[in-house]
A = this chain, B = another copy of it.
Amino acid sequence: MPKVGMEPVRKKQLIEATLEVMAEVGYHGTTISLISKRAGLSSGIISHYFGDKQGLIEATMRHLLEALKITQRIDDPLERIDFIIENNFSQTQGASSATNTWFNFWALSLHNEGLHRLQCINHKRLERNLAFSYRKLLKPEQVKNAAASTAALIDGYWLRYSMGSVGNGDFSEAVARCKQYVRDLVAQYGR
């Protein structure tokens, strides 16, 4: 009997290879051949486990979005918001930045039903998570606006720092500024 239980192993291998290759050469340069070579596997394996290239790309994006979910439970609302901010910046601090990957996923989303839905869910989840904590900190009528603006601030900073236009390659300054914004909000609109 052939090896069994390889599916999760192979899928992980391939998704990680995809992230690496996309980070290095961009979506446009990402080929089945490159991915499989990076994963140390054959090209045929991709259709075997993901149906086709599109399937692998979607699985990779799903994997990335999954990492943004908050699993920890934090009771203090301010602390929890801080954690959300950090979590959103921590993803791409590693050597092989997933920055470009994100840009490409955003671009792909606009012309792909499935990916677009995933993006929207993710966007809404972030606002919901922020609103949950803001409800304990701010006057009710300010909650929605605060959550939306904080989410936008996080994404905007992430975008600008990722582009390398500002900052020194790390996000610590961006994190600090986001946290400061939260405190400003509490100072001004706290209940």
Interface set of A (CB-CB < 8 Å, partner B):
25-29, 99-100, 103-104, 106-111, 116, 119-120, 123-124, 127, 145, 148-149, 151-157, 159-160, 163-166, 174, 177, 180-181, 184, 187-188
Contacts and interface: CB of A to CB of B under 8 A. Distances in A.
Nearest to A173: B148
Nearest to A145: B177
Nearest to A157: B152
Contact of A184 (B26, B152, B184): B184
3 shortest interchain CB distances as A-B pairs: A156-B156, A152-B156, A123-B165
B163 A106 contact: yes
Contacts of A103: 103-104, 106-107, 110
A174 B155 CA distance: 14
18 contacts: A28-B28, A103-B106, A107-B107, A109-B163, A123-B163, A123-B166, A124-B166, A145-B180, A148-B157, A151-B156, A151-B160, A152-B160, A152-B177, A153-B153, A155-B160, A156-B159, A159-B159, A184-B184
B127 A149 contact: no
A67 to B, nearest CB: 18
Contact of A100 (B29, B110, B120, B163): B110
A50 B156 CA distance: 33
A111 B156 CA distance: 20
